[in-house]
Amino acid sequence: MKIGLVTCASMLDQVRQIVPLIPKDQFVIYPVLPCCLFAISGDTIRNQVDKSVLANEATIIIYGACHPELNGLLDMYCDSNIRKIEGNNCWEMLLGPEQVEKYLNQNSWLGNKAFLTKWNKEISESFGYDTRNGKVASSCGIKELTVFRFENPQPDEKIVKREAASAGLPYSIHDESLEHLRNLIQAAVDKVHIENESRITLGLSPKPELIPISLLETMREIIYIIDKPGKEVTFISPIIEKLLSITTKEFKLTFLSTQNKGGYLYKKRTQIISKRSNFIADCLQRGFEDPLKLEYQIINGKGECRWIRETLSPQFKADGSIGAFAGRLEDITEWKITEQQLIDLYQNEASLRHELETQIQNRIEFTRALVHELKTPLTPIMAASDTLSSGLKQEPWLNLAQNINKGALNLNKRIDELLDLARGEIGVLQIKKIPIDCIELSSDIIQYVDAKVRKANLRLVFEHDDKTIFIEADPDRLRQVLLNLLSNAIKYTPEPGLIKLRCFRTLTDVVFQIIDSGIGISSSDRAYLFEPYHRLERDRERFDGMGLGLALSKRFVELHGGKIWVENANEHGSIFTFTIPILISVKPVYLKPSLKNKGKLYETVVN
Ligand code: ADP
């Protein structure tokens, strides 16, 4: 049998001498530094135990209970064939507890070869033996340095003598046999043999499949192994106790048997257990099977309900047959909670969206109906008032007819704005781009507002660097934006004011600016200016309008890929700026004329 010996390095030589004396078995020694001399963590021991457990059929621990984590650590290797030899420390292992007690009662300071050779300094210091001040050991009540000869080469008497002298102690050297340690190791070897045989009699494989504990401890998943012949859990990561507060025993008891009542399984207990058993049976019958995936709730040791995801799959041997089954348990509670929250949020969002869509739809229907109802009677009013205005010569009838026509046109404009807004809201507002000259379009609009400007006793200046600036845009919509901004400038600029329309080109855009010397807009109002139906408090009574012009302008500019914003003019008044990107495709065709005129300022003045 292959046996690993995890041995305290202070007894390494003795163990090496004993091993050849034990027949039949094959031994591999895994030394561990003595924790009485060096600060070693539980992981250091665990690392060596892992190595031995993985490589051997059994492991024997030849280490005192001096390390505080040792016993707890060994409990974790629940199913591996591990034995610790008796004895709380190396002296008890070497001499037996009675002998040790006898020497301690005589106030002896026990030493062996290691004590007198390379670790001499460390050992002396660790026991408070200060060579500079001397005699510390004797002042602590120690009466003698007692050295044992267990092995060859034996401790050099000269060194013993020198050490004893510098500690101010007498010394004695005793010849001791390795009988006691050998008996302890032999007893442990016998026990691991018995354990091995009992596994074989039970039909279990002599060495359960093991995964190093240190590796499992760092994982957030719990691994378990089911032995194929016995169909029992032969291994479960000890971390289950930490992660789920379920003991390994409890887990095993209720894992495959519905007989044992209680346990950690919560809802669907019987189904889960039989699903596992049926899966194993099916796999064994068919020789293969896709992994079994389960999701269920458990009650952990703290009484909390947790969600578990379990995956169980067959493990194949080199010859292709199933050797065992390996499973994985994951605590997916947080994930489930988040998933549920997402579902709730989604449902909430879906019902809100539905509500909103209905509201929008109702509004669209209403606006459509309103537009239809208003436009139908308005069309004949516009036509009739227009005919009357051109036919009538006499006052006050002419003035009255003109007023009706003006009112009808105004109403028609408002209805169009409402319709565009409704179109924008449902996303059917579209633009039809064609190559247009911005200078020509601007001049045209200036002509159009000319009468209005004159009537308001204002001056309108058109500034532009180039004679032509071609872009691809929707002329009707661009016209609407310019007209709206210019109309506002005229509306909100008291006489005798100045309005400027500037049009120039940057590398990427055509920029339009409408600058007025009017009443201006406060910074708090500027934030909401482009929202539908937003009108300034101060203008509500004084001017007509619905607060849709700027909202629509913004929508049109953005449909062209541009931006619109407002700033305060230097002294008083506002500057409305919007940009329309110049499309590369139209550049080569129309760039030349503008380059020719670069640098020149063209100004058209209307007053
Ligand atoms: P309206 O049809 O009411 O003019 P707009 O959307 O065009 O709607 O404008 C919204 C509000 O912004 C106006 O009611 C007015 O208070 C303000 N406003 C627009 N342009 C100017 C401007 N050039 N100077 C001062 N205030 C302006």
Quick one: CATH architecture of 213-331?
A: 2-Layer Sandwich (3.30)
Cα of 537 from ligand 1 centre, angstroms: 11
The Å distance, Cα 582 to ligand 1 centre, comes to 28
Binning pLDDT at 50, 70 and 90, where does residue 126 land?
low
Q: What percent of the chain has pLDDT over 70?
A: 84
Q: What percent of the chain has pLDDT over 90?
A: 27
Give the number of the atom of ligand 1 that is nearest the alpha carbon of residue 484.
7
Contact call for residues 63 and 29 (beta carbons, < 8 A): no
**547 CA: nearest ligand 1 atom:** 8
**Cα(312) to centroid of ligand 1, in Å?**
70
What ligand 1 atom has the least distance to the C-alpha of 539? Answer: 16
Is a pLDDT exceeding 60 seen at residue 135? no
Confidence (pLDDT) at 319: 65
Provide residues with CB under 6 Å of ligand 1: 484, 488-489, 492, 516, 518-519, 521, 529, 535-536, 539, 545-551, 574
Closest C-alpha residue for ligand 1 atom 11: 535
Q: What is the mean pLDDT of residues 348-361?
A: 90
What's the rounded Cα separation, in Å, for the pair 56 and 4? 6
Question: Do residues 152 and 113 touch, judged by C-beta distance below 8 A?
Answer: no
Q: 535 alpha carbon to ligand 1 midpoint, in Å? A: 6
Is the pLDDT at 587 greater than 50? The verdict is no
User: What pLDDT does residue 57 have?
Assistant: 85
Report how far ligand 1's centroid is from the alpha carbon of 534 (Å).
8
pLDDT at 228 over 90: no
Residue 577 in this model has a pLDDT that exceeds 70: yes
Q: List pLDDT tens digits, range 80-99.
A: 688 899 988 888 999 999 98
Residues 299-303: contacts with CB under 8 Å, at least 24 apart: 299/264, 299/266, 300/244, 300/245, 300/246, 300/264, 301/241, 301/244, 301/245, 301/246, 301/247, 301/264, 302/245
Q: Which tens digit of pLDDT belongs to each residue from 286-302?
A: 776 678 889 988 887 78
Instruction: Give the least confident one: 52-56, 262-266, 585-589.
Output: 585-589
At 604 the pLDDT is 55
Distance CA 429, CA 423 (A): 5
Residue of the CA atom closest to atom 19 of ligand 1: 488
Q: What superfamily would CATH give domain 434-606?
A: Histidine kinase-like ATPase, C-terminal domain (3.30.565.10)
Q: In whole angstroms, what separates CA 83 from the centre of its chain?
A: 44
Average pLDDT score, the chain: 81
Residue 589 pLDDT exceeds 50: no
* Topology of domain 337-425, CATH: Helix Hairpins (1.10.287)
Strands (E), 289-430: 292-299, 305-316, 322-331
CA of 488 to the centre of ligand 1 (A): 6
Structure tokens that stand for 166 in this block: 């510098």
Query: What is this structure's pTM?
Result: 0.44
From the CA of 540, give the closest atom in ligand 1.
Answer: 14
Cα–Cα distance measured from residue 338 to residue 403, given in angstroms and rounded to the nearest whole number: 65
Contacts of 442-448 with CB under 8 Å at 24 or more apart are 442/482, 442/501, 442/503, 442/512, 443/604, 444/479, 445/479, 445/482, 445/483, 445/486, 446/501, 446/604, 446/606, 447/606, 448/483
Residue 389 alpha carbon to ligand 1 centre in Å:
30
CA of 550 to the centre of ligand 1 (A): 7
Q: What is the mean pLDDT of residues 74-81?
A: 72
Q: Binning pLDDT at 50, 70 and 90, where does residue 44 land?
A: confident
pLDDT for 210 beyond 60:
no
Q: Over range 484-491, report the average pLDDT.
A: 94
What is the residue-wise DSSP string for 77-111? -TTS-EEE-S-SSHHHHHH-HHHHHHHHHTTEEEE
Residue nearest to atom 7 of ligand 1 (CA): 549
Query: Is residue 127 very low, low, confident or very high in pLDDT (cuts 50, 70, 90)?
Result: low
Residues 442-451: tens digit of each pLDDT: 999 999 999 9
Q: Which of 391-400, 542-551, 558-567 has the highest mean pLDDT?
A: 558-567
Burial of 304 (0-12, 13-18, 19+ CB in 10 A): exposed
Higher pLDDT, 466 or 43: 466
Looking at residue 329, its pLDDT comes to 87
Q: Would you place residue 592 in the very low, low, confident or very high pLDDT band (cuts 50, 70, 90)? A: very low
Whole-number pLDDT of residue 607: 45
Q: What is the pLDDT of residue 553?
A: 95
| 3 state DSSP class of 373 | helix
* Cis before 314 (ω within 30): no
DSSP state of 432: -
Q: Give residue limits of the domains in the chain.
A: 2-201, 213-331, 337-425, 434-606
What would the pLDDT profile of 412-454 be if each residue is shown by its tens digit?
888 888 888 877 877 778 889 999 999 999 999 999 999 999 9
**pLDDT value of residue 590:** 39
Q: Is the pLDDT of residue 78 over 70?
A: no
| Ligand 1 centroid to residue 574 C-alpha, Å | 11
Which of 106-110, 577-581, 583-587 has the highest average model confidence (pLDDT)? Answer: 577-581
What is the structure's pLDDT at 230?
Answer: 60
Q: Which of 499, 539, 546, 571 to mutate to test the pocket of ligand 1 (most atoms within 8 A of CB)?
A: 539
Least confident of 309-323, 356-370, 560-574: 309-323
User: What does the chain come to in residues?
Assistant: 607
Selected residue with higher pLDDT from 207 and 582: 582
Residue 596's pLDDT is what?
39
pLDDT (tens digit, 9 = 90+) per residue, 537-558?
A: 777 777 777 788 999 999 999 9
How confident is the model at residue 461, as a pLDDT? 96
Q: Which of 481, 488, 537, 548 to mutate to test the pocket of ligand 1 (most atoms within 8 A of CB)?
A: 488
